[in-house]
Amino acid sequence: MTSTPSISSFPTSAGKNATGNEATGNEATGHSTIGDKANPASGPRQPSRDEAMQAVETLLRWAGDDPRREGLAGTPDRVVRAYEQYFSGYRTDPVEFLQKTFEEAEGYDEMVLLRDIRFESHCEHHMAPIIGRAHIGYLPQNRVVGISKLARVVDVYARRLQIQEKMTVQIANTINEVLQPKGVGVVIEATHQCMTTRGVHKPGTTLVTSRMLGRFRKGDSTRREFLALIGNPGTQGSIGY
Ligand SMILES: [Zn+2]
């Protein structure tokens, strides 16, 4: 499991972000993703639980099975319950997790790094699992947040339908807007089951995406330190999912 290929969206120059677009320069002010959380009030009517279960039953019949047989009798209910967990991120505001900060960190102003935050998400194109890990670093400016909160922010965005590039940007922008640090770096490595178990069937491939803001974008030494601390993702082959 060491020689598998990686697809890398890694920036090749400081001016590029994870998706290869030029920086827009608005990372300090935001306008990005915080309001992008699902807003049931403005979206389509949320179906009832019964309607959701009927939809699962329809899919079971469409797949060629009989939803009335014993083994499938409880399946629509179980699937709906599972969806409540997979997609609980729509009902949570990630900004809330970052509100409680500590200003008395004895002047700590070096990089704070949380790496290997495992997450499970689902791709918005196939609703297939995306399994991976995120690494988050930031340079505090007065305010430091409890490290578990960083992992919570990852979970909130992971528990929505996603594309990895968008999730990377959402996590970085949210931390940047709420904590207003001197810089933020987010790197995500993940495998996409829509690619490994269907379609081109390429097990072992890892998608690496990154979003660098502030000093992480402008300062080569900060970015290098961050990438070295997280072990230069994408260079070590498969992440083993
Ligand atoms: Zn997909």
Q: In angstroms, rounded to a whole number, what is the distance separating the alpha carbons of residues 58 and 97?
A: 38
Say yes or no to pLDDT of 27 above 50.
Answer: no
Confirm whether 166 is domain-assigned.
yes
What contacts 24+ positions apart, CB below 8 Å, involve 226-230?
Answer: 226/111, 226/113, 226/137, 226/185, 226/187, 227/187, 229/111, 229/113, 229/115, 229/137, 230/113, 230/115, 230/135, 230/137, 230/187
Which of 51, 84, 96, 124 does the annotation list as catalytic?
124
pLDDT of residue 12: 35
Q: Tell me if 56 sits within 8 A of 75, measured CB to CB.
A: yes
Confirm whether 25 is domain-assigned.
no
pLDDT of residue 166: 98
Q: Is there a catalytic annotation at residue 123?
A: yes
Confirm whether 32 is domain-assigned.
no
Q: Tell me if 162 sits within 8 A of 121, measured CB to CB.
A: yes
Distance 144 CA to ligand 1 centre (A): 35
pLDDT of residue 104: 64
Distance 206 CA to ligand 1 centre (A): 13
Confirm whether 124 is domain-assigned.
yes
Q: Is there a catalytic annotation at residue 164?
A: yes
Q: What are the pLDDT digits (tens) for 43-84?
A: 789 999 999 999 999 999 999 999 999 999 999 999 999 999
Distance 145 CA to ligand 1 centre (A): 33
Distance 125 CA to ligand 1 centre (A): 5
pLDDT of residue 17: 39
Q: In angstroms, rounded to a whole number, what is the distance separating the alpha carbons of residues 144 and 8?
A: 31
Q: In angstroms, rounded to a whole number, what is the distance separating the alpha carbons of residues 28 and 22?
A: 15
pLDDT of residue 105: 67
Confirm whether 152 is domain-assigned.
yes
Q: How many domains does the chain have?
A: 1
Which of 120, 126, 180, 225 does the annotation list as catalytic?
126
Q: Is there a catalytic annotation at residue 194?
A: yes
Confirm whether 115 is domain-assigned.
yes
Query: What distances in angstroms separate CA 207 from CA 23, 123, 149, one per listed residue?
Result: 21, 13, 24
Confirm whether 64 is domain-assigned.
no
Q: What are the pLDDT digits (tens) for 163-212?
A: 999 999 999 999 999 999 999 999 999 999 998 888 888 888 899 999 99
CA distance from start to end of the chain: 10
Q: In angstroms, rounded to a whole number, what is the distance separating the alpha carbons of residues 174 and 32?
A: 8
Tokens of 217: 């974008």
Q: What are the pLDDT digits (tens) for 110-139?
A: 999 999 999 999 999 999 999 999 999 999
pTM as predicted:
0.79
Tokens of 175: 């931390």
Distance 193 CA to ligand 1 centre (A): 7
| CATH number of the domain bearing residue 126 | 3.30.1130.10
Q: Is there a catalytic annotation at residue 31?
A: no
Query: What phi and psi values does residue 197 have, to the nearest 5 degrees?
Result: -115, -5
Containing structural domain, residue 224: 6-16+101-229
Rg of the Cα atoms in the chain: 20
pLDDT of residue 108: 80
Say yes or no to pLDDT of 8 above 80.
Answer: no
Which of 177, 189, 192, 193 does the annotation list as catalytic?
192
- At 9, is the pLDDT very low, low, confident or very high (cuts 50, 70, 90)? very low
Residues 10-34, mean pLDDT to the nearest whole number:
38
Which of 57, 120, 180, 194 does the annotation list as catalytic?
194
pLDDT of residue 107: 75
Q: Is there a catalytic annotation at residue 180?
A: no
Confirm whether 29 is domain-assigned.
no
